[in-house]
Chains A and B, each alone.
Chain A
Amino acid sequence: GNSVTQMEGPVTLSEEAFLTINCTYTATGYPSLFWYVQYPGEGLQLLLKATKADDKGSNKGFEATYRKETTSFHLEKGSVQVSDSAVYFCALSTNSGGSNYKLTFGKGTLLTVNP
């Protein structure tokens, strides 16, 4: 079956530090990959996505590259801000293996950015 493994948090950084949150996956077929962000008390918001190998998704200074050879989709940002403090979820969706296009989520990584 499909699965997503992301680095466990919490991750605590100072403002303007470099961020990497690791995400690896196993999937049947050719998945689409997503990063979602959840701010306190809110639902999940799509941050970025990539739908085929070597695609780079980007949004709000965040980037992630779909690496088929390493089955990874690591999230990066060059300079984090206090407002980036949130929980980040890596997720995949595939249309094969009987998964019926459902999203499979990692367990989430809590990021705290201190001023």
Chain B
Amino acid sequence: NAGVTQTPKFQVLKTGQSMTLQCAQDMNHNSMYWYRQDPGMGLRLIYYSASEGTTDKGEVPNGYNVSRLNKREFSLRLESAAPSQTSVYFCASRSRQVSNQPQHFGDGTRLSIL
């Protein structure tokens, strides 16, 4: 029962470097999400994919890009990392894009930008 798997679990980057965070789910879910979690801010939605082949911006998309590679995988890319992007990143999936369905979360990627 893997659920939502995120890689890597930890990463340290220098300012200006690029990186792709990987996310895969094995629950045959249609919708996938990327959040960032910062102290005192709760979770903020970066991008989401309601279904395979579609992506949309969330609350804080600047500095990020995403790719819904297939139904299972949804990656988040930082093209030029900045210290303000130091955060814990969570990927989540949901069976369908309806309000009563919960989201299922991965264990997160802890990213530090120096």
Which residues from chain A sit less than 8 Å from chain B, CB to CB?
31-32, 34, 36, 41-46, 49, 51, 89, 93-95, 100-103, 105-108
Q: Would B105 and A107 count as touching, CB distance under 8 A?
A: no
| CA gap between A115 and B94 in the complex, in Å | 37
Selected from A41, A94, A101, A106, the residue in CB contact (under 8 A) with B42 is A106
A34-B102 in contact (CB<8A):
yes
Main secondary structure of the interface of A (DSSP, over half): loop
Q: Are A102 and B58 in contact (CB under 8 A)?
A: yes
Task: Kindly identify which residue among B4, B58, B92, B99 contacts A95, using a CB–CB cutoff of 8 Å.
Answer: B99
Contact in complex: B99, A94 (CB < 8 Å)? yes
**Measured between alpha carbons, how far is A45 from B102 in the docked complex, in Å?**
10
Asked if A107 meets B41 with Cβ closer than 8 Å, knowing A46-B102, A95-B99, the reply is yes
Per the bound structure, the CA–CA distance linking A95 and B100 in Å amounts to 9
A32-B100 CB under 8 A given contacts A100-B50, A108-B42? yes
List 18 A-B residue pairs with CB atoms under 8 Å apart, sorted by A's residue number.
Answer: A31-B99, A36-B105, A41-B107, A42-B108, A43-B107, A44-B92, A44-B105, A49-B100, A49-B102, A89-B42, A93-B101, A100-B50, A101-B50, A102-B58, A106-B42, A107-B40, A107-B42, A108-B42
When C-beta atoms are compared, the residue in chain B nearest to A43 turns out to be B105
Q: How many Å from the CB of B107 to the closest CB on chain A?
A: 5
A contact residues around B90 at 8 Å (CB): 43-44
Complex Cα distance, B4 from A100, in Å, reads: 22
